[in-house]
Every structure is written in structure tokens, then in C-alpha cells.
Amino acid sequence: MYAQHWGLVDIPFQSTIDQRWFYEGPSHEEAVARLLFIVEQHRRLGVLVGEAGTGKSMLLAVLKRAVQRAQGQVVHVNVAGRSGEEVVWELAAGLRLSPRPDDPPRTLWRKIEEVLLGNQLAHVQTVLVFDHFEWADRECQKAIARLVHLNTQTPTWTTMVVAVREKALQESCDLFRHLIDLTIQAPPFSNDESRDYVISLLSRAGRRDPLFTDSALDRLHALSGGVPRELNRLCDMSLLAAMSAGAVAVTADIVGSFAAEESAEKSFDRQTVLNNV
């Protein structure tokens, strides 16, 4: 779309967990350090907490890569839309147990317990990651609680990490909340982090000269609240709008006008719905 126009070799502002675009600002650097701490210190359970779009899935991808580099085993399960039995099946598949579609849960549980015990005895670091836990149903919560209660060895070589939106923490994790060793925050960026994030990603995409004005960067942070996913969306659309306008840089007015148009469209759509009720 606009990459060639702005002298970019790639599109930087995408919703992805590709670690080429990971920005390790102070807040996310601390989150990564805490995630690695619970693994390296053989803790049982950590919970990664943050609102939608704050980069939890990217942080989990960074953790996965670090553990694998240290010859550990990582199983990542996205629990969104999955039942408790489906999560257990996904876990068995991730542990390379070759589960069959007709395997009953009790068979899968026995195999999972056996492989985790084997890893414990062999001192193989095993990390079980459960993402989007705000979507977990009650049976899924029970499955995770069962895993936590199975993991009684000290020190343990199996660490579980649950990622959940902050507003859903109490409800989604109530069955095992008292067993959490560490709660890790994935906060929005500060204003300085937002500015550095945009500049850093543009640099990785091949742009050395400033593309957003200082006031535009401030406006981006104000509108996005420092949420990386929203920053990506606003930057992406602002670059497109600036190109269409024939501008030589993205100004605060361009960012603001795009946001105003979007807000007006949402208001119009809402009013249309109300009129049709």
C-alpha cells in the first residue's frame, strides 16, 4: 500500500507476534524479566495481566523463544472458543503425545501426567502457556486448576503461564488464584515509550528520517492511550491518509482529522442502528 511511497521495505504497524517488531521498552522489558524469573526460579504459576491490545501474546512469544533457546519445551494453547476437553487435547498434542480424536479425557490426562513427571525427573524445563484466558469456560478453568494441583514437586520443572485481561482476572482464575506465584503486568506504553515505539518500528522498516512530527507522536499517544494494538492501527491509517493527501510527513492535524472522521462514522452507524430499532 504505502510502503514504497514512504521508503519502507516492510509494513511495520501490523497486528502480529513476529518478534522482528517486538519493542522492548521499559514496561515490556520488566514484563519479560518477570516471565523469565518464574521459569528460571521454578515457580508453578504466573499470570500475565493486561487489557486488550497491550501486547500479552507478543510477550508470550518472546518467552517461548527464550525457553526454547535454553532447550526447554513450551506448549502454547489459545483457549479462546475451546472447551475444557479441547484444551486438554491441545495440550496433549503440544506435548507430542499424538492424541487421537476419539481419545477419552482420562486417557489424555494419564499421558499428560506421565510426560510431565518424566520431564520433572529428567530436569527438562516445561512451560505451559494458556493465552486469552478471559474466554475460558468453567471446564477449561477446572482443567488448568487440575494441572496446577498436579504440579506439587519442589523445585518444579513445569511452569504454567496464564494470560488474561485484567477485568476478567478474578472471575477467570478464581479456581486457582490462591496458587498464583506472581502476577505480571503488561501495561500500556507511557508517552515516551509510544514515541520511541513508532520511531523504532519505522527504523526497522527502513525509514531513517522522521516521518511523524513531534506533535503527531503526542497525538498518537493521546488517542491510543499507549495501547500497542491501537497505536499500530492509528499509525497505519495515518500513513495512508498522509500519502493520499500528498503530505511529506504525518502531522498532528492528519492524525486528528483521521480520528475525527472515524469517530463521526461510528456515531453515524450508532444513530442508524438506533433509528432502525
The CATH number of residue 218's host domain is 1.10.8.60
Task: State whether 250 and 148 are in the same domain.
Answer: no
Domain end marker among 150, 185, 220: 185
Claim to verify: residue 143 and residue 54 sit in the same structural domain: yes
Instruction: Give the domain extent around 263.
Output: 189-275
Shared domain check, 194 and 178: no
Within-domain flag for 7: no
**What is the number of domains present in the chain?**
2
CATH number at residue 98: 3.40.50.300
Kindly provide the b/e burial profile for residues 143-156, where b requires at least 16 CB atoms within 10 angstroms of the residue's own CB. Answer: bbbbbbeebeeeeb
The reply to whether 247 falls in a domain is yes
- Domain C-terminal end among 165, 185, 205: 185
pLDDT tens digit at each of 277 positions of the chain: 789 999 999 999 998 999 999 999 999 999 999 999 999 999 999 999 999 999 999 999 999 999 999 999 999 999 998 999 999 999 999 999 999 999 999 999 999 999 999 999 999 999 999 999 999 888 998 998 999 888 878 889 999 999 999 999 888 888 888 889 999 999 999 999 999 999 999 999 999 899 999 999 999 999 999 999 999 999 999 999 999 999 999 999 999 887 666 654 444 344 443 344 4
70 and 157 assigned to the same domain: yes
In a domain, 5, yes or no: no
Question: Cell triple for residue 168?
Answer: 476478567
212 occurs within a structural domain? yes
Query: Which sign, positive or negative, has the C-alpha torsion 99, 105, 106, 112?
Result: positive
Same domain assignment for residues 179 and 47 = yes
Residue 8 located in a structural domain: no
In a domain, 256, yes or no: yes
Whether residue 48 is found in the same domain as residue 171 = yes
Residues 46, 99 within the same domain: yes
Last residue of one domain, picked from the residues 140, 159, 185: 185
Residue 221 resides in a domain: yes
- HSE (side-chain half, CA atoms, 13 Å) at 6: 30
Model pTM score: 0.89
Do the domain assignments include residue 55?
Answer: yes
